[in-house]
Structure 1
Amino acid sequence: MEKTDPAVRQGRHRPEGIVGWGVDLADKDRPAVPKERTPPRLAHVPHLEEQHSSVRVLHSNERPGLTPVYGTTVPPSGLSGGMRELAFRYSENDIRHWLILLAADRVNVGEGLLADLAHGHIPNIFAEMGAASEWKYNRAGFVKKAVIASALVGTAVYLMRRKRGLRG
């Protein structure tokens, strides 16, 4: 009598070469179950000394306090800091939380540019955005982006001049 795989007898086949195949099978049918085990939970976690901060640290309103360790190198400040504080009033599952944080990042870039100018440093935006590497390694992408940016700026200038001409 010919031996056949139980999965084949049950009408299932075991495809070879498909990464992750079988992860949703019952434990008795999973090929790696004897070797699998979840990482063991730590029975004893030593109490970490609470970190003290001299700057405002924002944290989720879903959490009662701060985590034991957190970063304080860039505290929230200016308009972007106010936007971040507003974002953390909302739950992390609320889209407003994330959209406000994204907008705050963009505002923070503008604040950084203004701070550079205020200190007499003219930023080299071309180099800081990695344009030299883009030109060297992705010339077609660079040209495409430059054409699109030029078209958008040209359209904006045209519309502003046209609007100014209609008013005058």
Structure 2
Amino acid sequence: MENSSRDYSHINGWGIDADPKNDPTYPMKKRTNEEHRGYSWQRPTQQAETVEVLHSNERPNLTAVFGTTVPPSGLSGMLRRYAFKHTENEYAHWLPLLLADRINVVEGIIEDFKNGKVPNIFAEKGMKADLQHDRAGLIKKAVIGGLLIGGVVAFMAGKNSNKSRKLDY
């Protein structure tokens, strides 16, 4: 194999890190090889666990700091608990988490109605920006959504009319 130097100066940005003074890691490289001994730091004080916190089964303990604003609850929480029983390299971990996110949206809307608040789905979904910047995409989404809802209603209505016909006998 031929090892020849070529001129790459015509490529924008080529060799940008060749000058060590222009290297963003330059100050770190000037350590006295301390990185070979490893970092020695004090672990931060463990945050108190006041709510259920799910963490990977590949971790023996909780991280020092974690979020507590939305503990798992309801059907989405059950799915999340199931997901965290599996290792992170399995579909049985990630797919339930994706489904739990979608279910959690519906649970949030139901919770809003329970608390007497009507959610502004138009604003929360960013439809004002869609209307302004991607009108065709918004119309397409609305048509597809309407067709899906109409199909479900028609299916359910057909199912109910079949039941009533069976009762007439």
TM tier, shorter chain? 0.7 to 0.9
Aligned to 2:156: 160
Question: Is the CA contact 2:43–2:64 (under 8 Å) kept in the aligned structure 1?
Answer: no
Counterpart of 1:7 in 2: which secondary structure? coil
Aligned to 1:109: 105
Aligned length: 151
Cα distance, 1:32 vs structure 2: 4.4
Counterpart of 1:6 in 2: which secondary structure? coil
Alignment of 1:92-107 (within 5 A): 92-107=88-103
Counterpart of 1:105 in 2: which secondary structure? helix
CA distance in 2, matches of 1:51, 1:65: 12
Gaps of 5+ in 2: 30-34
CA shift in 2, pair 1:144/1:51, >3 Å: same
CA distance in 2, matches of 1:161, 1:68: 54
* Deviation >6 Å, runs of 4+: none
CA distance in 2, matches of 1:31, 1:6: 20
CA distance in 2, matches of 1:150, 1:111: 22
- Write out per-residue CA displacement over residues 70-106 of structure 1, whole angstroms, 9 at most, x where no aligned residue: 1111111222112111110000001111111111111
CA distance in 2, matches of 1:152, 1:65: 45
Cα distance, 1:15 vs structure 2: 7.6
CA shift in 2, pair 1:67/1:121, >3 Å: same
Alignment of 1:62-141 (within 5 A): 62-141=58-137
- Write out per-residue CA displacement over residues 47-67 of structure 1, whole angstroms, 9 at most, x where no aligned residue: 311111211111100011011
Alignment of 1:37-52 (within 5 A): 41=35, 43-52=39-48
Identity %: 42
Aligned to 2:11: 17
1:7 aligns with 2:1: no
Cα distance, 1:44 vs structure 2: 2.3
Gaps of 5+ in 1: 22-29
Aligned to 1:24: none
CA shift in 2, pair 1:6/1:104, >3 Å: same
- Write out per-residue CA displacement over residues 117-156 of structure 1, whole angstroms, 9 at most, x where no aligned residue: 1111122222221222211221111111111112222222
- Write out per-residue CA displacement over residues 22-63 of structure 1, whole angstroms, 9 at most, x where no aligned residue: xxxxxxxx8846736695646321231111121111110001
Normalization by structure 2: what TM-score? 0.74
CA shift in 2, pair 1:32/1:131, >3 Å: closer
Counterpart of 2:82 in 1: which secondary structure? helix
